[in-house]
Structure 1
Amino acid sequence: MKTKLWLFYAIIATIFWGIWGAFAGLPAEKGFPETLIYCVWAITMIFPALIVLKLVDWKLQANKKAIFYGCIIGFLGAGGQMILFHAVTMGPTYLIFPIISLSPTVTIVLSYLFLKERTGVLGTIGIILALIALPLFDYSKGDEGNDYGYLWFVFTLIIMFAWGLQAYFMKLSNEFMNAESIFFYMMLTGLAIIPIALIMTDFSANINYGVDGPWLAAGIQVLNSIGALCLVYAFRYGKAMVVSPMTNAGAPLITAIIAMIILGFVPGTFKVIGIILAVLAAFLLAFDPGDEVAEEKS
């Protein structure tokens, strides 16, 4: 059963992130700035971090190596998110998000070269299909007449590599750290960047502090936080080169389905193709017998 624990946690992370993705933009649409949404998300990380630490009798690993790698993972994730806030104000989102969605390629290459991870034929096909599907979920035809410059592209590449590296270090650190400590340092680094988010916030604007502002954001961002926690556990038991593309393809799939059913969104041709490829990829990654030889961690 331990060899399939990665699948359990990956599915939970995918479901929570998929639901989160469908509703993540609602607070901003109602007048609550995205920079403050980041602050709310960082705060929601506190509760699951404390809960899982309590489950392991508060055994936080505080040696230099654990702190170093924990902070690397946290800053790569939270820092990438902060850069994203700035990038979307400078460039076309219809290009930014497809590029960022290719971050699993970074994880796969690093895991193959340095962690010596391998997968079976079905898993390999699944990874390829997932990588093809990822950009399709966020692709939309934009205004070709806009001159966005090039800085947005530089920032987007930084985010892509940051999140790809984060997944790699998350798997690497699981070899000598418990998942609870990893997530705790992710929470701490997320909180540490809050001052930057506050500086970036335009408090002179009309900000919605009502129930459908910060409180709605909190309810939605809890899903994000729990998904992140489950991802850490998925990397603990599974291969980074499988977990990363599966979750990154599966979550947009669920988001797209919810958008179609609840929000009345009708996907374009590219998104339909992405949905089909993601379903096939998730199926192949989940049932590839190659994951049975993965190293188990108790």
Structure 2
Amino acid sequence: MNVAKRSWMVYATLLVVFWGVWGAFSSQPNTRYGYPNEMIYIIWAFTMLIPAYFALRGNRFDRRPVAAMWGLLAGLTGAGGQLLLFQALSDGPAYLIFPVVSLSPVITVLMATVLLRERIARLAVVGVVIALVSIVLLSIPGGGSSNSHGPWLLLAIIICAAWGAQAFCMRKAALVGVNDATTFGWMTISGLLLVPVAFAMMGGLPSGAPWQAPALTAVTQVLNAIGALFLVMALSRGKASVVAPITNALAPVLTIVLSLAVYQTLPNIWGTIGIVLALVGSTLMVYSDEKGGEEPAAGPDLAADAAVGAGHGAPAVPKS
């Protein structure tokens, strides 16, 4: 297998690991200490500075308008969707909101195939469909709610579209020659720009929260931030129509496995079916990519950028 052509698999795997672990523990600050979700967002925005520093070290920050446009679009769609999710969850049932939001890879696949002319093999198409079904099933938690309609539905649809577009913007940024470090840098800036909005939604700093709440939040959100960098790197090297469904399907599987090990929490029947479908769908997509191969993308990756000091980005080749 050509390692250069398949390097997206490495970054997608790292993404699944980091987001899978983050997913297993991300709710603890809120459920254990009652820490506001908006404060969790604010801490996450600042933790983005950590991977951004390491990504930009040794790489030139691309100051072209096209780099700023696609980087800001990727950042604002991701961070804006996160803020809207807090509002949606305050108005509607999570067990209905998350299945809607989880369809975001559908938006990515449609945009990639229509606007970027990405083509995937028939076997990969089957894998994409299976993975998308698994994502919905994995996002259905136990329990229910009588509030099955309301303004939250529109917000959920907007979030779905925003997060689907985010992955597309990451891919498009790489296609126009923007390096990974620059795209992630603009995403970091976007997240920080929305910090005042989060403060306004929260109504001020929380009082009475123990030190463990922000500390645990910082640790878990660093995993989230690093995962976001790996998403940029995976999308700059692999097709968005394949990377988005795979990562969105496999990260929840790891989260469920870790939750089973740590909290002794068994998945519901839908989650169990979703795990099987996620593994099957992802396997089909990876096998199809190995068999058919991808067109090599233009431009050096982050490692090459660091080596030559050029910083022109990932091969010319989506949370949060």
Same fold by TM-score greater than 0.5: yes
Residues 140-289 of structure 1 aligned to structure 2 (within 5 Å):
140=141, 142-143=143-144, 146-147=146-147, 149-175=149-175, 176-203=177-204, 206-210=207-211, 212-288=212-288, 289=290
Q: Distance in 1 between matches of 2:92 and 2:64?
A: 41
Match of 2:4 in 1: 2
Q: Distance in 1 between matches of 2:148 and 2:129?
A: 31
Match of 1:12 in 2: 14
Percent identical: 35
Q: Distance in 1 between matches of 2:52 and 2:91?
A: 34
Match of 2:84 in 1: 83
Measured after TM superposition, the shift of residue 150 of structure 1 is 2.0
Paired positions, count: 294
Contact residue 96 and residue 148 of structure 2 kept, 8 A: no
Measured after TM superposition, the shift of residue 149 of structure 1 is 4.1
Q: Distance in 2 between matches of 1:110 and 1:63?
A: 24
Q: Distance in 1 between matches of 2:55 and 2:234?
A: 15
Measured after TM superposition, the shift of residue 287 of structure 1 is 2.1
Match of 2:132 in 1: 131
Q: Distance in 2 between matches of 1:205 and 1:183?
A: 29
Q: Distance in 1 between matches of 2:205 and 2:124?
A: 51
Q: Distance in 2 between matches of 1:154 and 1:76?
A: 16
Q: Distance in 1 between matches of 2:220 and 2:226?
A: 11
For 2:266, what is the secondary structure of its paired residue? coil
Change (3 A) 1:41 1:66: same
Unaligned runs of 5+ in 1: none
Change (3 A) 1:207 1:239: farther
Contact residue 33 and residue 207 of structure 1 kept, 8 A: no
Per-residue CA deviation, residues 31-59 of structure 1 (Å, 9 max, x unaligned), is 22110000110000001111111132xx1
Greater CA deviation, 132-141 or 16-25?
132-141
Measured after TM superposition, the shift of residue 259 of structure 1 is 0.8
Measured after TM superposition, the shift of residue 283 of structure 1 is 1.4
For 1:166, what is the secondary structure of its paired residue? helix
Contact residue 31 and residue 206 of structure 1 kept, 8 A: no
Per-residue CA deviation, residues 254-286 of structure 1 (Å, 9 max, x unaligned), is 001111111111111110000000111121222
Contact residue 130 and residue 281 of structure 1 kept, 8 A: yes
Match of 1:26 in 2: 28
Greater CA deviation, 62-71 or 80-89?
62-71
Residue type of the alignment partner of 1:13: L
Change (3 A) 1:220 1:282: same
Q: Distance in 2 between matches of 1:292 and 1:152?
A: 41
Q: Distance in 2 between matches of 1:155 and 1:228?
A: 23
Contact residue 119 and residue 290 of structure 1 kept, 8 A: no
Highest RCO, 1 vs 2 (Cα 8 Å, sep ≥ 6): 1
Greater CA deviation, 2-11 or 119-128?
119-128
Q: Distance in 2 between matches of 1:131 and 1:204?
A: 38
- The answer as to 2:51 corresponding to 1:48 is yes
Contact residue 98 and residue 139 of structure 2 kept, 8 A: yes
Q: CA RMSD in A?
A: 1.5
For 2:83, what is the secondary structure of its paired residue? helix
Unaligned runs of 5+ in 2: 301-320
Measured after TM superposition, the shift of residue 202 of structure 1 is 4.3
Q: Distance in 1 between matches of 2:154 and 2:292?
A: 35
Greater CA deviation, 241-250 or 134-143?
134-143
Change (3 A) 1:290 1:121: farther
For 1:237, what is the secondary structure of its paired residue? coil
Contact residue 95 and residue 140 of structure 2 kept, 8 A: yes
Residue type of the alignment partner of 1:76: T
Contact residue 36 and residue 206 of structure 2 kept, 8 A: no
Contact residue 238 and residue 291 of structure 1 kept, 8 A: no
Match of 1:93 in 2: 94
Q: TM-score, normalised by structure 1?
A: 0.95
Contact residue 24 and residue 220 of structure 1 kept, 8 A: yes
Residue type of the alignment partner of 1:273: I
Q: Distance in 1 between matches of 2:253 and 2:144?
A: 25
Q: Distance in 2 between matches of 1:292 and 1:236?
A: 15
Q: Distance in 1 between matches of 2:171 and 2:36?
A: 33
Contact residue 239 and residue 291 of structure 1 kept, 8 A: no
